[in-house]
Amino acid sequence: MSAGSMLYFNVNDGFLEGIVRGFKLGILTSADYSNLVQCESLDDLKLHLQTTDYGDFLENEPSPLHTTTIAEKCTGKMVEQFNYLRAHSVQPLSTFLDYITYGYMIDNVVLLITGTLHERDPEELKEKCHPLGKFDAMGSITVEQTTADLYNNVLVDTPLGPYIQGALAVQDLDEKHIEEIRNTLYKAYLEDFDRYCRTLGDATYEVMHQLLGFEADRRSINITLNSFGTELEKEDRAKLYPRLGLLYPTGIRTLAEAEDPDSVQAAVAHIPTFKELFSQVGYDEDKSLEDAFFEHEVKLNKLAFETQFGYGCFYSYFKLKEQEIRNIVWIAECIVQDQKSKINQYINIY
């Protein structure tokens, strides 16, 4: 924390930092989760959620409830909070909050393209999009055939425009290439976000660099693991790794050569964090690598709140809220499908 940030931060952003820390106090704790896992039905769940920060948000839903409704409403609450912060913010916090939405925008773009390829109804697709990632040209994605068209007609007016640079070589928008496009967009987004955070000062950058770096490493590992058995060439795969994180630049080179899951583990073993995460997966049968990554992400996001006078807490709050929504949906699904043995596999936050 440099002196500058402590002296001037509160002029524009002190109030909103207080607000977001207030929001954070409403995140479900282990006591809340232990109440939720004992619920017998979704109506029970709704009753228990009324005592938390969620309040009466499910009041007007007709019973029987569905898990999708619960997920939608929880996300709606998060979006309300985001819109409140965004409306009250000034530069540079407003740009920072906009950057948070770009990740969701990328997911929406890919969802719409995939949906179109499978000939789904455009209206239905729009409803499935994440509300934080809405942009104006969403309706016109459905008719695009090539990447160049996608860029010229849709993305160029959105903030995602510059991110398509690496993917313009990919000609067709079809099943095979859509993941490549997603990963290219996301790689450019992470690098751009990191570059932007560097201009925001030490307090923000120290936290965000670590968080974005972990996100980049996780993506690199996942891309590698998911590419075994597909047609993705090693050189193409190497182009998708973000130039960020603990694995950049040496770990990425080894990762690009990896041929099977064991060599992936060997490639990242020189970093204690990942060695630990991989070994956790080895010990515990029920735990997948994704779960280990989620847990570590929660840990990093909780640490972000230790820094005052920085923007990291805004980003972390929304990541933690997302994890909370995933937890609630997991618990709801276990209740509905009567899988009580697996119900404790949510990730505790506080």
Binding mask 197-236 for another protein (x = CB under 8 A): ----------------------------------------
Token pair for residue 81?
């909070």
Question: Of 21-80, which residues contact another protein (CB under 8 A)?
Answer: 21-23, 25-26
Of 99, 128, 131, 101, which is closest to residue 112 (Cα–Cα)? 128
Preceding omega of 249 cis (within 30 degrees of 0): yes
Residue from 4, 6, 171, 339 binding another protein (CB under 8 A): 6
- Residue closer to another protein (CB basis): 225 or 303: 303
- Residue closer to another protein (CB basis): 183 or 307: 307
- Binding range to another protein, per CB under 8 A, among 3-11, 181-189, 296-304, 334-342: 3-11
- Residue closer to another protein (CB basis): 13 or 297: 13
Give Cβ neighbours of residue 195 (< 8 Å, ≥ 6 apart).
Answer: none
3-class secondary-structure state, position 158:
coil
- Residue closer to another protein (CB basis): 16 or 200: 16
Least distance CB 21 / another protein (angstroms):
6
Judged on CB neighbours under 10 Å (0-12, 13-18, 19+), 235 is exposed
Least distance CB 34 / another protein (angstroms):
21
- Please tell me the distance from the alpha carbon of residue 116 to that of residue 174, in angstroms, as a whole number: 10
Say whether residue 87 binds another protein (CB under 8 A): no
Give Cβ neighbours of residue 40 (< 8 Å, ≥ 6 apart).
Answer: 335
Residue from 4, 14, 55, 139 binding another protein (CB under 8 A): 14
- Residue closer to another protein (CB basis): 22 or 139: 22
- Residue closer to another protein (CB basis): 15 or 228: 15
Least distance CB 80 / another protein (angstroms):
14
Say whether residue 19 binds another protein (CB under 8 A): yes
68-97: b (≥16 Cβ within 10 Å) or e: ebbbebbbebbbebbeebbeebeebbeebb
- Identity (one letter) of the amino acid at 52? T
Q: At what angle do helices 312-337 and 93-117 cross, to 10 degrees?
A: 40
Residue from 11, 62, 91, 235 binding another protein (CB under 8 A): 11
Torsion of the alpha carbons at 107, 110, 112 and 118, rounded to the nearest 10? -130
Say whether residue 16 binds another protein (CB under 8 A): yes
Q: Is the distance from CB of 240 to CB of 180 less than 8 angstroms?
A: yes
- Residue closer to another protein (CB basis): 84 or 196: 84
**By rule CB under 8 A, what count of residues binds another protein?**
16
Say whether residue 94 binds another protein (CB under 8 A): no
Positions that interact with another protein (CB under 8 A): 6-7, 10-11, 14-19, 21-23, 25-26, 308
